[in-house]
Amino acid sequence: MLLLLGRLICISLLVALTLGADENIKDSHNYVLDNSDLLLIPKSVGFIDTLSNELFSKTGFSLYVAVVDKIPEDIKDRVIDGDNLAEQDLQKLYRNRYKKVLTQNLPQPYALLVFMREDKKMDILSSAPKEYFDEDKVYYEYMVPLLPKEKDEVLTPQLISAIMLNGYSEAADMIAAHFGVKLENNMPVDESGGREFVRFSMYAMMLIMFGIIGAIYLMRKK
């Protein structure tokens, strides 16, 4: 129960922090390559474009995001060698083709965070893996922990946005550190290296826990 509360608080705070992002950027580039199903909430899109433009202006590195509900049918239609494949292998082929289409014209160096809701798959693609940041660390420590733990839990736009932003903001900081620059528009990091919303969520969890204990005590006393 406490783990669930902590994750929900963390997600809410993460999405709320996007409200401070400045969406009025002149001559900006769109770094959200696919949000055709509107699975990224608008403030998340604004935050990503704001931070990616700052990152590119300071480092020359392009950091992209793509979120899709289903692999587009026109992508599937391009696969002509899948008739004899098992369904699982065919879906993997579709996903690989989709990711190839997304990255084929991106200027290097780049990284792309991809989320495919129907297949319940996500990935981090880089033009030079491990050179600018640790993709595995971002994936397993900042994205996977926010995934639903229950099979029937719905991947809502708010949850997907939180997952993507958590990995995206950490990747941006790692890339900036590689180039020796700091990002003014990213989410704050405290001196211990943890993001402020994580520390704040722990305090919130403690308050909730004490509140529950207090309520139980008062009910028993009555």
SS (H, E, C) 148-174: CCCCCCCCCHHHHHHHHHHHHHHHHHH
Which of 95, 109, 112, 124 is CA-nearest to residue 48?
112
Say which residue the tokens 């290097």 belong to.
108
CATH at 34: 3.10.310.50
**pLDDT band, residue 89 (cuts 50/70/90):** confident
What is the average per-residue pLDDT within 103-131? Answer: 96
Global confidence as pTM? 0.74
pLDDT at 151: 76
Total domains, the chain? 1
Confidence of residue 123 (pLDDT cuts 50, 70, 90): very high
Q: What is the pLDDT of residue 191?
A: 39
- CA 216 to CA 182: how far, in whole Å? 47
Q: How many residues does the chain have?
A: 222
Alpha carbon 33 to chain centroid distance? 14
Q: What is the pLDDT of residue 160?
A: 95
Q: What is the pLDDT of residues 13-59, one digit of tens each?
A: 555 544 444 433 334 579 999 999 999 999 999 999 999 999 999 99
Q: Which domain holds residue 172?
A: 2-221
Which residue has better confidence, 69 or 21? 69
Q: Is the pLDDT of residue 126 over 80?
A: yes
Residue 150 — pLDDT band, cuts 50, 70, 90? confident
d(CA 50, CA 44): 10
Buried b (16+ CB within 10 A) or exposed e, 84-98: eeeeeeebebbbebb
Q: Which residues contact 155 (CB under 8 A, 6 or more apart)?
A: 117, 120, 148
pLDDT of residue 13: 54
At residue 217, the pLDDT reads: 58
pLDDT of residue 212: 63
